[in-house]
Every structure is written in structure tokens, then in C-alpha cells.
């Protein structure tokens, strides 16, 4: 082949790669975008503002200006959201991108026994795109439910621009003790996979924490209780899984390696042991004793209530022989209201994956408001407070200079009707438009 043809093919290949990567030749330097918002809820304690322009430089917020007629260069891009309400990108701090819903044990068994990790990872790529299009520009994925370390690769693929999705923090395999977590009920001579990494004893727990961190875990997830029952005095009781020694070892090892611990703790003993051990977040928390709430508020332990999933799975699990799940909803509401009064930090989390990803996780907002939050508090739980839990306050969660340009918008006013957040029609992540209404 002549040299000039080889050179032409090389140049064509470079342009093809650039086109697929979103690179534009001939354009260098700073990219400026003006986002005009009819109303702005910036995620801080500041009141909502009208007619605001957000100035972006590349992937960051440069300035937030009053008015829609700010001076701009002829080369700048203008995005007109003057009929919309703009908010920070939403953050869901409790998801399972490798899970497709598990109302019954059969649903869960089907996924772990009949779907390969590779197939589940493919489904996860669909789920993270859905999450982004729902308006969630960041998520914390709190374990893969038997899919190993696949969440680390999903996160890596998003970061490398291979697939679209939110910013992610991941917890990989999660930890539980022998005999406490599915798959269960199979013949003793039949080896079946588990939805967690099984550990027994403090030393084994420390080793598992080290292993998970070495493979990319940002968080360590523990299942701290099981087997729920409602006592005569109305307290939701449980069987704790880990001993306090084991839990303390997990927390100590994770914190020593600068990682945080999320504890699935739904009832009395699981929550109490988790709080005593010093975990960083209580997940679900259908029942939390008053004294434990005081400790959580004092120590800054976050509460991630995941209300919608409880309502979603209750009837199905009751029909499968576990009626306690229906009664747990009223206990959960009382706990949520007490937590608000006690000053516990509440971060938005949905358990998406525990219900099908075709359901919009933003349905959680309506429950939070129904159970006592103001719309402003509910929004901040999914923006400012969620970013604090993730340690990303300087990166996202509010629309302030220096933060990532993670912006969503809706046609209505979420302060008047929180359910409009179930219909987000504009999504921007890091200055790139993912979804737009026009």
C-alpha cells in the first residue's frame, strides 16, 4: 500500500476515534456554557431564587448570577431552562445496580443461580443509565448481591466514558455470618452461592475488609440483623448477626484504611450493635430506639431509611408467608418521625434493585414528605446531605462555584409538589447534557 494511503487511513482512524470519544478538532481551551433557570433550588440553606444564570466552565460551575441576561461571549453555549426549576443532580445513597428486584426468595434465587455475573453486569449497564436519566448523577451502590466485584468494573466503565452513568461509590460483596443470608434452604450437600461474603470471627472479618478494599471497595457493607418480629410492646425485634467484637473489628479495620461502613440494620439489636460499633450509616432502620437515635445524632451517624422499597415489597412478602413486612411500615413511619425530631442526619436512599429499575426511585420523595419532612428537607437529603455522607461535599450536592456541573431540571415546582421530581426532563452531568426536554 502506498505511504500516502497509509497516512490517510491513520488520519481517518484518528478522526473516528475522536468522534466516538466526543473530541472536536480545532477547538481548544475553555468551554463556557450559560444555563438559564426560571427558578433555582441550589441545595444549600438559601431560599429558592428566580431568574438565575449558572455559568459553567468545562465540567464545573464557575459562577451563579442573578438574572437571565448575563453578559456572555458569542462563542458560549446558552441552555434555556427559563420555564424550569433547576436543582443539583440528585444522589441516591442506597442502590443495587446488579439486582433486578427481589420481592420473593424465588426472585433472588433466580438471579444468583441462573444469571451469570457477566449477564448481570450487562443488565447493570442498563440500570446505571436509567438512574442517570431519572436525574441521579451520583449513587452509592451498597453491594453486588452475589456478583462479586462487578460493581467496581461498572464504576470504572462509567469513569472511563465507556458507558453513561452516575458517579459511583461501591461496596462490592458485603459481609454477613454463616447461615444468615441467602441463598439458604438448599440440601446440605448442595453447594450454592451466597449473596454476601461469609465471615466468622474478628480476624476473618478484618481479612475480608482488606480483601474488598484491595479489589476496589469504597465502602464496607455489613448485614447486622435478620429474622424480624414485632414484640407485644410494638418494638421491632431481630436476631443480631455479628457479635459486637466482630462488628467493632470490621469498623476499626475499615476506618483504619480510610473507608466507611454502611450497616443494614432494620430492628432493635442490629441498630444498637451497629451504633455501638461506630458504623457510618444505618440502612433501613425500621425501628431505632430513642437512646440509639441520640447517639446517632451526637456522633453524626447517618440514617438512610429506604421507605419506598418497604412499601413496594410488603404485600408480596406477606403473601409469601411473612406478614410482618406489612406491619413494619407503620413502625417505620414512627421511627422516621422520631428521627427527624431527634436531629438525626437523614440521607436519601431507595434500595433501587430491591425493586425493579423500571420503577423511578424518586418515588421515595413523596413518602419522606408524607412522613414529616418538608419538601426542602427531602430535596436536601438527596443533594447536600447525601453528598456529605459520601464525602463529596466539595464536589457535588449543591450548585455552587467549584462544584461539578451536575444539574437537573423539572417543569414544575418541587417545593409545592415534591412528586414532580419523578418527572425530571433535563439532566446534566459534569457539564454534559444527558437528557433535555426539547
Residue 388 lies in a domain: no
| Whether residues 219 and 234 fall in one domain | yes
Domain boundary among 304, 332, 359: 359
| Whether residues 226 and 318 fall in one domain | yes
| Whether residues 304 and 319 fall in one domain | yes
Q: In the prediction, which pLDDT does 13 show? A: 41
Which residue is listed with cell 457479635?
A: 243
| Whether residues 230 and 260 fall in one domain | yes
Total number of domains constituting the chain: 2
Q: In the prediction, which pLDDT does 102 show? A: 84
| Whether residues 266 and 162 fall in one domain | yes
Q: In the prediction, which pLDDT does 376 show? A: 97
Q: In the prediction, which pLDDT does 317 show? A: 73
Domain that holds residue 85: 28-89+399-435
CATH code of residue 83: 2.30.40.10
CB 350 within 8 A of CB 284: no
Domain boundary among 359, 391, 410: 359
Task: Convert the pLDDT of each residue in 113-151 to its tens digit.
Answer: 999 999 999 999 999 999 999 999 999 999 999 999 999
CATH code of residue 327: 3.20.20.140
- For residue 59, CA distances in Å to 82, 98, 256, 405, 428 come to 21, 28, 33, 6, 10
| Whether residues 68 and 184 fall in one domain | no
Q: In the prediction, which pLDDT does 23 show? A: 37
Give the chain's residues under pLDDT 50: 1-28
Q: In the prediction, which pLDDT does 437 show? A: 85
| Whether residues 258 and 137 fall in one domain | yes
Domain boundary among 359, 381, 408: 359
Q: In the prediction, which pLDDT does 27 show? A: 44
What pTM, to 2 d.p., does this model score?
Answer: 0.92
Residue 5 lies in a domain: no
Q: In the prediction, which pLDDT does 20 show? A: 37
CB 427 within 8 A of CB 137: yes
| Whether residues 152 and 32 fall in one domain | no
Query: Strand runs (DSSP E) across 43-111, as ranges?
Result: 49-57, 60-66, 77-88, 90-95
| Whether residues 419 and 272 fall in one domain | no
- Tell me whether residue 413 is exposed, middle or buried, using C-beta atoms within 10 angstroms of its C-beta: 0 to 12, 13 to 18, 19 or more: middle
Cβ neighbour number for residue 114 with a 10 Å cutoff? 8
| Whether residues 328 and 267 fall in one domain | yes
Whether the bond into 183 is cis, omega within 30 of 0: yes
Q: In the prediction, which pLDDT does 12 show? A: 38
Amino acid at each position: 500500500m502506498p505511504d500516502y494511503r497509509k497516512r490517510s487511513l491513520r488520519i481517518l482512524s484518528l478522526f473516528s476515534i475522536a468522534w466516538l470519544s466526543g473530541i472536536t478538532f480545532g477547538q481548544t481551551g475553555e468551554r463556557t456554557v450559560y444555563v438559564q433557570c426560571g427558578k433555582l433550588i441550589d441545595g444549600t440553606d438559601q431560599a429558592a431564587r428566580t431568574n438565575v444564570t449558572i455559568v459553567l466552565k468545562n465540567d464545573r460551575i464557575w459562577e451563579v448570577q442573578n438574572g437571565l441576561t448575563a453578559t456572555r461571549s458569542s462563542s458560549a453555549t446558552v441552555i434555556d431552562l427559563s420555564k424550569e426549576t433547576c436543582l443539583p443532580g440528585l444522589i441516591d445513597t442506597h442502590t443495587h445496580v446488579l439486582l433486578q428486584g427481589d420481592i420473593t426468595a424465588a426472585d433472588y434465587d433466580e438471579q444468583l443461580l441462573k444469571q451469570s455475573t457477566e449477564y448481570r453486569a450487562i443488565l447493570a449497564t442498563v440500570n446505571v443509565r436509567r438512574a442517570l436519566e431519572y436525574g441521579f448523577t451520583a449513587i452509592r451502590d451498597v453491594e453486588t448481591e452475589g456478583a462479586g466485584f462487578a460493581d467496581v468494573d461498572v464504576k470504572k466503565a462509567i469513569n472511563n466514558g465507556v458507558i453513561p452513568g452516575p458517579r459511583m461509590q461501591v461496596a462490592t460483596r458485603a459481609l454477613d455470618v454463616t447461615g444468615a443470608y441467602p441463598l439458604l434452604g438448599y440440601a446440605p450437600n448442595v453447594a450454592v452461592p451466597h449473596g454476601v461474603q461469609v465471615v466468622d470471627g474478628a480476624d476473618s472479618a478484618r481479612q475480608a475488609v482488606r480483601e474488598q478494599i484491595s479489589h476496589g471497595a469504597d465502602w464496607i457493607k455489613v448485614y447486622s440483623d435478620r429474622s424480624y418480629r414485632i414484640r407485644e410492646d410494638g418494638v421491632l425485634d431481630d436476631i443480631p448477626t455479628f457479635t459486637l467484637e466482630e462488628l467493632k473489628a470490621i469498623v476499626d479495620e475499615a476506618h483504619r484504611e480510610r473507608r466507611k461502613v454502611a450497616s443494614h440494620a432494620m430492628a432493635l439489636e442490629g441498630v444498637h450493635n451497629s451504633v455501638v460499633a461506630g458504623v457510618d450509616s444505618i440502612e433501613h432502620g425500621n425501628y431505632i430506639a430513642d437512646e440509639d437515635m441520640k447517639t446517632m445524632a451526637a456522633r453524626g451517624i447517618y440514617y438512610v431509611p429506604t421507605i419506598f422499597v418497604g412499601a413496594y415489597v410488603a404485600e408480596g412478602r406477606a403473601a409469601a408467608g411473612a406478614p410482618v413486612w406489612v406491619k413494619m411500615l407503620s413502625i417505620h413511619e414512627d421511627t422516621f418521625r422520631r428521627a427527624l425530631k431527634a436531629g438525626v442526619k437523614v440521607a436519601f436512599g431507595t434500595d433501587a434493585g430491591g425493586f425493579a429499575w423500571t420503577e423511578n426511585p424518586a418515588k421515595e420523595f413523596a413518602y419522606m414528605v408524607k412522613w414529616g419532612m418538608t419538601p426542602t428537607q427531602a430535596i436536601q437529603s438527596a443533594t447536600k446531605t447525601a453528598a456529605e455522607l459520601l464525602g463529596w461535599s466539595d464536589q457535588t450536592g449543591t450548585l455552587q462555584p467549584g462544584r461539578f456541573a451536575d444539574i437537573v431540571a423539572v417543569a414544575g415546582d418541587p417545593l409545592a409538589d415534591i412528586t414532580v421530581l419523578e418527572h425530571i426532563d433535563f439532566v446534566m452531568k459534569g457539564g454534559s447534557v444527558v437528557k433535555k426536554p426539547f
